[in-house]
A = this chain, B = another copy of it.
Amino acid sequence: MITLLPVPGLPEIGAGDDLGALVADAIEVRDGDIVVVTSKVVSKALGLRADSTESTDRPALALRESRRVVAERMTSTGGVTRVVEALAGPVMAGAGIDASNADDDHLLLLPHDPDAAAQEVLDSLRAATGVGGLAVILSDTAGRPWRAGLVDFALGTAGLRALDDLRGHADAAGRDLAVTVRNLADELAAAADLVKGKLDRVPVAIVRGMPDLVAEVPAVDLVRSGPEDWFALGRAEAVRDALGVPAGSQLSQDVGIESVHPETIADRAARALRVASSAERAPSAARAGTTRRASSITARGEAVVIRLEDADPVRLGHTWARVEVALAGERLGADATRDGTTVEIVVRPTRR
């Protein structure tokens, strides 16, 4: 049996507070306990607040707290919301910058080394209680691709067997469990959220009954990235990136970022044309002195028509293919006809 215990009665946390001592005052911590602490209070204790200027421009702040942009969309207020690989490690929306439950108008930032922050809490908890066999998880909240709703996950760990590697073991029927590595840290963080509850100001919970997971092991990297990450970019971002418009760049902003709300075919087609044209390194004609080229986008009845004209036929073909790819990236289809140095592309609402 495992029990999930909320740690109630903690005071409002401020910069410089000793979290371990406060937890020790609030509840009796026992050998084998796993203490799950909401990253928000750790950020508060560490004083990780953005200053007033930074706090007014949240998208810029999120970019600064990021390694790279995975996906980006325009919001209804004209801002940009981004899913990024945060300096704190995980891929998450807005670099995990937090406004809710802050005690003033300053935004809270995540620690850049969450494992070290977890170790600090563990050290202070041990000093305050004299109990050695403990583990600490910093938990944070995130959405995930393909699933509705948010869940908690492990941002940092200390003293925890975070990944349970069952490879090499056999299952009950004697078959090898070839690829079963459990992310127990994420499961523990999710479980702890069930008793913490966002509205109840209970930022800490204890998982009791899994002493086997408490072990002095080096923290394992729970983030999957690099070539093993099949989803390193969003769908739209992968296509734009392949056309030379990386997410998070000034160019991306200039050509226009897809909205979170539905857009007209004309708007999406116009953006596709900008994506295709703007990042194109003119393949040859510019050097040869032949610079006459033009493109236009017009409505023809219900349809949207893109017209490309170029005195250089190679460049014409080059732009044509890029427009087709960019349209496909917008989930739009294309029917094209060519007449001399002109290509006319009729945009279809869906791809064939």
Contacts and interface: CB of A to CB of B under 8 A. Distances in A.
Nearest to A173: B101
A145 B100 contact: no
B238 A329 contact: yes
Contact of A171 (B199, B210, B328): B199
A107 B257 CA distance: 44
Contacts of A222: 147-149
Interface residues of A, number: 97
A220 interface: yes
A183 B175 CA distance: 33
A239 interface: yes
Interface in A242-256: 242-244
Interface in A1-55: 1-6
A158 interface: no
A221 interface: yes
B1 A99 contact: no
A224 B225 CA distance: 22
Contacts of A90: 146-147
A166 B100 CA distance: 13
Interface string A135-154: 00000010011111111110
Contacts of A67: none
B169 A199 contact: yes
A177 B148 contact: no
A119 to B, nearest CB: 20
A301 interface: no
A53 B280 CA distance: 51
Interface string A157-175: 0000001101001011101
11 contacts: A91-B146, A141-B180, A145-B230, A148-B224, A177-B198, A187-B191, A231-B235, A242-B329, A314-B314, A320-B321, A325-B325
